[in-house]
Amino acid sequence: MASYIEFDRFPLSLSSLCACHSRRLSTSSKTLILCRPNSSNTNLKLFFNGAGGSFRIPRGIFVKRGLIITAVARAEPEKIDEDEAKKEVDKGFNSLLKDDLASERQQKASQLKKRVVFGLGIGISAGGVVLAGGWVFTVALAAAVFVGSREYFELVRSRGIAAGMTPPPRYVSRVCSLICTLMPILTLYFGQIDVSVTSSAFVVAMILLLQRGNPRFAQLSSAVFGLFYCGYLPCFWVKLRCGLAAPALNTRVGASWPMLLGGRTLWTVGLVATLISFSSIIAADTYAFFGGKIFGRTPLTNISPKKTWEGAVAGLSGCIATSVLLSKVLGWPTSVPSAIAFGVLNFFGSLFGDLTESMIKRDAGVKDSGSLIPGHGGILDRVDSYIFTGALAYSFVKTMLPLYGV
């Protein structure tokens, strides 16, 4: 008969337990049912696995549930007291806790490494696309819009959202994704997007109204919002980068820019404004993340519990500082108040774009919009801060500043 229980970590799966021979040691109140493998020279093992609360093991050994513990029972003639047994249990708990903490740290470090590596890759690629402009920028944006729109309509069709509404049919979702993809290209070709958006909304509405069965308003509203959110709003980046083609006369970088890469003519108001806006959004996200980690105490909104007022203030400060610094380097806008106003606008556009996507994901009951980018999630998880900001930045340059920002 086993006279004591020694707790230790032991890698044994449940399938192994099923293949064991059960053995009852005693019929008293201290009965333990142990499993022994076929091999006679191996120790007996016992697993305890609970979801909550606590329970007491015979001989007064107290174990908290929620942890997986392996008990190794050995047949020994001598006995040990309960204090020694409890010390062994405590050692087992401490070992498991340390192992769990180490595993969690390792997992977080691996995820952070993926985020950094893929984030740098995305940033460098996006910078090259922005500098290239024209069809390169537009086609890259259209590809991102296609993937993002597919993710959006998958979120709409998810169990969390579809439980409270009727999502549009899958073929309508695919038509909307195709229309959203064509919108940036039409914007570059025609110079404006209003007619194509209105026509697209009409076509989608007619398809939904004429479908078989019982058309629902929720189908129309989610589809039209998808056209607006995934197609119309991103088109303003095309209007900002490619539409504002006036040269940025005060930009010193253009004077020394190689002719092989476009020379001075490459540096237009649209390019400068896009670079400042992109950089400000990145700074806002970075400063908000670290500011929230270090100083975050007060929750900003229930939509995204991890966001705090302290992080938002840090993000706003970083966004303004980046906008002012780049305005000095690139010579646009020419006044500090204009650069500050541009930074504030970029921050609020990025913040509310992020919150909007968080609201969609919360209703859908998912953490990420997709799994395309390792460590980052889906396309919408990466570009949510840019969706509204393009329209705000373009409107700022066209209306709040003098023509072409000079």
Scan for tokens 């069809």, then name that residue.
135
Q: 129 and 217 share a domain?
A: yes
Residue 110 lies in a domain: no
Is 32 domain-assigned? yes
- What backbone phi and psi angles, to 5 degrees, belong to 168? -65, 155
Q: Does 335 map to a domain?
A: yes
* End position of a domain, from candidates 52, 70, 100: 100
Which of 100, 133, 156 represents a domain boundary (last residue)?
Answer: 100
Residue 141 in this model has a pLDDT that exceeds 90: yes
CB 167 within 8 A of CB 219: yes
Model confidence over 243-278: pLDDT tens digits? 888 888 788 787 778 777 777 788 899 999 999 999
Tell me the mean pLDDT in the region 319-338: 92
* Domain match, 50 and 189 both: no
Q: What are phi and psi of 64, to 5 degrees?
A: -85, 135
Of 395 and 26, the one with more pLDDT = 395
Q: Are residues 85 and 132 in the same domain?
A: no
Q: What Cα–Cα distance (Å) separates residue 322 from each residue in 125, 234, 333?
A: 20, 23, 13
pLDDT band at 175 (very low <50, low <70, confident <90, very high): very high
- Position 298 in a domain: yes
- What per-residue confidence (pLDDT) applies to 81? 57
Same domain? 174 vs 242: yes
94 and 132, same domain (yes or no)? no
Between residues 261 and 96, which one has the greater pLDDT?
Answer: 261
69 and 138 assigned to the same domain: no
318 and 211 within one domain: yes
Please say which residue of 72, 100, 128 terminates a domain: 100
Q: How many domains does the chain have?
A: 2
Same domain for 269 and 306, yes or no, is yes
Query: Is 191's pLDDT higher than 90?
Result: no
Angle at 307 between CA 302 and CA 313, to 5 degrees: 125
Question: Would you say residue 332 lies in a domain?
Answer: yes
* Domain co-membership, 71 together with 185: no
Cα–Cα distances (Å) from 81 to 86, 87, 92, 250, in that order, read 9, 10, 17, 85
Considering the domain architecture, whether residues 17 and 148 belong to the same structural domain is answered as no
Share of the chain above pLDDT 90, in %: 37
Number of residues in the chain? 406
Are 167 and 211 within 8 A, CB to CB? no
Domain enclosing residue 14, as ranges: 4-100
3-state secondary structure of 296: coil
* Cα radius of gyration rounded to whole Å, the chain: 30
- Domain membership of residue 381 (yes or no) is yes
CB 16 within 8 A of CB 70: no
- The answer on 225 and 76 residing in a single domain is no
Average confidence (pLDDT) over 43-65: 42
Its pTM stands at 0.72
- On the 0-12 / 13-18 / 19+ scale of CB atoms within 10 A, 240 is buried
Structure tokens at 84: 């020694």
**Range 393-405 burial, b when 16+ CB lie within 10 A, else e:** bbebbeeebeebb
Q: Does 86 share its domain with 126?
A: no
Q: What angle do CA 168, 174, 119 make, to 5 degrees?
A: 110
In a domain, 111, yes or no: no
Per-residue model confidence as pLDDT tens digits over 198-237: 888 898 988 888 887 777 888 889 999 999 999 999 999 9
User: Is 176 part of any domain?
Assistant: yes
CA distance linking residue 289 with residue 242, whole number of Å: 31
